[in-house]
Structure 1
């Protein structure tokens, strides 16, 4: 069995076509060769934390997989990252484990690449000139790096409340190499006239005023798995075409959707399409409408990513 550390993952990533691996696994949800159950959460006593288990099957890769992601409160109290993540792959032929992979950073990378795939499918790339990023952590950096790799942007705007005060974070964005990158003074300034708005935070309340969004833009959101976590006003879903990574599991994870259902009688039936449907071309995208795409993270993405890294 291969044991892959975070450093192994980071070393291998530049040589891996992660987006292609994710695309193949997601297309398997259309023909049944990929299986994606809902996550399972096990809580510790006395509010000490919990562990989320993400399971799936990608038959094209010949493996089952599970990602375990614990959240330990005591680590947070010590100033340490309370979240870890490990993905184990098991051969569907032999039943034996084949890979154990530290998935902490790989989760960041596969999330950014999955968003990149959604952008490929939902953005009117021929007229897109400005991208805005809300957030300043690893996820924000990874998302912007994918976009700067995949297409040319005339303007890049980044905002988070703590960004301007952190020279280290500002330099990290500047090292991505875009000569028209600006650190905005507010979220509204950042998203003004942006064709693509990527929300890359762990917020549990809106991080941008929906009224500031350009009509016809694409908004992507990652948020977190925490109950009711959301980055955009749930009421704004009524004015948007809504998409997601996988409609069969989104109801348990997307806070803005569950809140919209409760507050304004929004329906999950309103979701226009998910990634498998978009990839199979069974849905039409109206790019003149403002579009909202929600990432919830899928085990088959973790399986495909870990497999690709192990094979590199």
Structure 2
């Protein structure tokens, strides 16, 4: 019989440290052509409101699922996250419904896990990193957890446009990490000198300038997931070695890439490859110590399906969730 897993269930069953190696395996399979995943379908349902459908099929482990995701920019006024998601997991042998799983936390955690995994391949080796985070929402929180799990981080500087938000972020997250956190006075103040930069914003315009980013820095960009948006200075994108999660997805959805090509700043060949290709050894990652690298993440259904399958498997083992009869 189908099982319902709410957000509390999922948080108890799956952690970011679980997801880092899982995302590595999953994205390697994606880039090897071992999964089935079309481009997501996105419908506009009003100003600043979008509804996406993200199906995928995995072979190892065998899993079939679809994520239904909504992005309502002004949900915070109702005390709700801007991104909400539900994952429908089906039996790959029969097509029967296995589970309905809250996908909000999975989206938050798998994105950060994939980013941290990619940064491990693309960042310059150092004994201790300095991390800058632009943004103060759920993705900023999950990326702080993921990056401090994967790397030795000496200090974190955080900036977002609203002073109370960034100070609240620092005060809240200081309770869950031993890494010193500072609310920066500006985006430039946060980014200058950082070896790792995370952009987790809802901005439609660039939030950092190329001149702020020192040679050898690795930049992670998880915002600006629509063609009309960009969160990076186009000069930075043109300057860096550019790696994505999906080449097809990036050329169809990433404003940072689509607009840069349209403006003649670079061509499609500037996109060096997918992170899964690096994991598989098909292409190299960082080519020089002083090279700036970018991982542009749009998020993919295969990530959601892999994480949902893990949550469901553990829920069955632990008898967690609510079993229903349809």
State whether residues 18 and 308 of structure 1, in contact with CA within 8 Å, keep that contact through their aligned partners in structure 2: no
In the other structure, the counterpart of 1:231 is: 231
What are the Cα deviations for residues 91-149 of structure 1, in whole angstroms up to 9, with x where unaligned?
A: 22111121211101210111000101111111123355311111111110110111112
Aligned to 2:69: 69
Q: After alignment, is 167-176 or 51-60 more displaced?
A: 167-176
**Aligned mate of 1:290, from 289, 292, 298:** 292
Given that 1:131 and 1:197 are in contact with CA atoms closer than 8 Å, whether structure 2 keeps it comes out as yes
Alpha-carbon distance in 1 for matches of 2:292, 2:47: 40
Shift of 1:243: 0.8
> Aligned residue for 1:257?
257
Quote the offset at 1:179 in angstroms. 4.3
Contact kept, 8 Å, 1:134 with 1:140, in 2: the verdict is yes
* Matching of residues 40-55 of structure 1 within 5 Å: 40-44=41-45, 49-55=49-55
Unpaired runs of at least 5, structure 1: none
Task: Measure how far apart 1:35 and its partner are.
Answer: 2.0
Stretch moving more, 260-269 or 78-87? 78-87
Q: Hey, what's the Cα distance between the residues in 2 that align with 1:66 and 1:226?
A: 20
Change (3 A) 1:61 1:250: same
When structure 1 is superposed on structure 2, of 258-267 and 301-310 the one drifting more is 258-267
SS across alignment from 2:263: helix
Aligned in 2, Cα 1:71/1:188: closer, same or farther, shift over 3 Å? closer
SS in 2 for 1:264: coil
RMSD over aligned Cα atoms: 2.3
SS in 2 for 1:22: helix
| 2:11 match: secondary structure | helix
Q: Name the residue aligned to 1:31.
A: 32
CA distance in 2, matches of 1:77, 1:252: 31
Q: Structure 2 vs 1, CA of residues 48 and 221 (structure 1 numbering), >3 Å: closer, same or farther?
A: closer
Aligned residues: 311
Question: Does structure 1 conserve the Cα–Cα contact (< 8 Å) formed by 2:224 and 2:256?
Answer: no
Residues 237-274 of structure 1: per-residue CA shift (max 9 Å, x gap): 22111111111221122111011011124212211121
CA contact (8 A) 1:65 1:90 kept: yes
Residue 31 and residue 259 in structure 1: after superposition, are their counterparts in 2 closer, same or farther (change >3 A)?
closer
